Amino acid sequence: MKCKVERIIVEKKSFQVEFEGLNGGTWVSVTERSRGFVVSIGFDMEELDWLMEHLKKAVEMEASRGFVRKIRGKTKTLLMEICFNNRGRFMKITEFVTKRKPLFLVVPEGVKGKGWEDLRKAILSVQEYSERDGGASKEKNGNIRMYGDTFRGGRSYAKVVEAGLRTGGTLSAGKWARAVICVSQEKVQDWTHEGRAIARMMGMKGMVSINPISAFKGCFFVSSTRRAERVHDQGRLSVKGRTILLRKWSPKENMVVQGKFRRGWLVLKGLPFHLWDEVQLNFILKKWGRVTKVAKETLKLVDLTRVKLWVEMLPNVVLPALLEVEDGEWSYTVAVSVTGEDEMPTLSHLR
């Protein structure tokens, strides 16, 4: 397999990032060349995740601050220090191995963290290239394993078969190939406990930042697709008596409507208040469906931000995202959306 090498220059120092495969456990190596001085440190997958995480934190950190972080591996310990001198900040990464002198890399911050950010991007570029090229080589030799809906080239096959009408299509996954979806059977208001449990499971300190998708679902990213697959294989974990499922990303994650919309709650925004009437609402939507229920907070004018109603759609029609409503000489544009609320409000039934 071809190995991509990235080179960057930071304040007259040259750094080389190279994919090493699994030679001796090393995944990626970083080599510093400066005035005849050459030193190289190798990182396995877990150590590389740690390095990428703290490179990003260092770039985002205030210019007056520093930190010290350590990770203990199977055969060595890595120490990262953000230090200061008369030129500004620099990052010192030291490798401690038994019965050997420590090795260290010194990476200047550069202008507004550009040196650290360039190193992070170089590592990410080498990772992504090696994963694509590795997948292609396996496929060529007839030894590729297909994981669900993922295949060569970092793209995913979206299985969107609805009632036999579709057969699927290719969809660029990009960074979503490195995503992990967390699903809870109960509502989660704060994912802090889950983030800490996942960090412990991955052998990391602190917590993983989980971004909520819905009341039951969240998402976080790891540094590589291989790392994501290892987390997917874990399957689940228990947090305070609650089971959290861990799985790969699907293009359907944030879909509000599965397949064609036939019935459900609609929200109208921009409709003048004097048209918030059962008869008027039925008349406005008669081309597309029949209004059978109106939320009580709409009829009682409790929530004045929107109109919420239940609609039974007519066959073979598609509801537009914008409606043009005419009232005498006035014309209004009304935005239409399908609500994703979990709880059904008190209703007023139309006769």
| Confidence (pLDDT) at 245 | 92
265, 253 in Cβ contact below 8 A?
Answer: no
**Would the pLDDT of 323 be above 80?**
yes
pLDDT of residue 4: 74
Q: 5-42: string of b/e by CB count within 10 Å (b at 16+)?
A: ebebebeebebbbbbbeeeeebbbbbbbeeeeeeebbb
Pick from 31-35, 165-169, 259-263, 344-348 the range whose average pLDDT is largest: 31-35
CA-wise closest residue to 293 among 275, 281, 306, 305: 281
**Separation CA 69–CA 73 (nearest Å):** 13
Answer with the residue of higher pLDDT: 85 or 153: 85
Q: How many residues are given for the chain?
A: 351
- pLDDT surpasses 70 at 55: yes
Least-confidence region, from 99-113, 141-155, 176-190, 283-297: 141-155
pLDDT for residue 183: 92
Q: Do the Cβ atoms of 178 and 227 come closer than 8 Å?
A: yes
Judged against a pLDDT cut of 70, whether residue 149 lies above it is answered with no
Spatial separation of the C-alpha atoms in residues 271 and 305, rounded to whole Å? 10
At 329 the three-state DSSP class reads: coil
pLDDT of residue 219: 93
Mean pLDDT of the chain: 78
Please name every residue paired with 182 in a beta bridge, in sequence order, or none if there are none.
218, 246
pLDDT tens sequence across 167-224:
344 444 567 888 899 999 888 888 988 988 988 888 887 888 898 888 889 999 888 8
Q: How confident is the model at residue 269 (pLDDT cuts 50, 70, 90)?
A: very high
116 against 204, higher pLDDT: 116
Q: Which one-letter amino acid corresponds to residue 229?
A: E
User: For a pLDDT cut of 90, what percent of the chain falls above it?
Assistant: 16
| Whole-number pLDDT of residue 167 | 39
Over 80: is that where the pLDDT of 295 sits? yes
Q: Is the pLDDT of residue 146 over 50?
A: no
Alpha carbon 349 to its chain's center: 41
pLDDT at 105 over 80: yes
Q: What is the pLDDT confidence band of residue 161, given thresholds at 50, 70 and 90?
A: very low
3-state SS, residue 149: coil
pLDDT exceeds cutoff 60 at 304:
yes
* The pLDDT of residue 31: 92
Reported as a single tens digit per residue, the pLDDT across 19-46 is: 876 545 567 889 998 777 788 998 888 8
What pairs with residue 333 in β-bridges? 324
Rounded-to-integer distance, Cα 50 and Cα 56, Å: 10
Find where tokens 């001085």 sit.
37
DSSP state of 147: B
What is the pLDDT at residue 173? 58
Residue 334 bridge partners (DSSP) = 323
Least confident of 61-70, 128-137, 206-215, 216-225: 128-137
| pLDDT band at residue 75 under the 50/70/90 scheme | confident
- Across the range 1-5, mean pLDDT stands at 64
Instruction: Give the residue among 48, 57, 100 at the shortest CA–CA distance from 78.
Output: 48
Whole-model pTM: value is: 0.41
Which residues, at least 6 apart from 98, have a Cβ–Cβ distance to it below 8 Å? none
**In which residue are the tokens 């995480």 written?**
53
Cα gap 155→132, rounded to integer Å: 10
Q: What is the Cα–Cα distance from 9 to 87, expressed in whole angstroms?
A: 16
Mean pLDDT of the region 261-287: 87
Q: What is the CA angle 178-180-185, rounded to 5?
A: 170
* Model confidence at 99: pLDDT above 90: no
Q: Is the pLDDT of residue 16 over 60?
A: yes
- Mean pLDDT, range 328-342, rounded to an integer: 77
Q: Cβ contacts of residue 212 below 8 Å, gap of 6+?
A: 188, 191, 218
The strands making up 68-72's β-sheet, listed across from edge to edge, are 68-72, 77-85, 88-96, 103-108
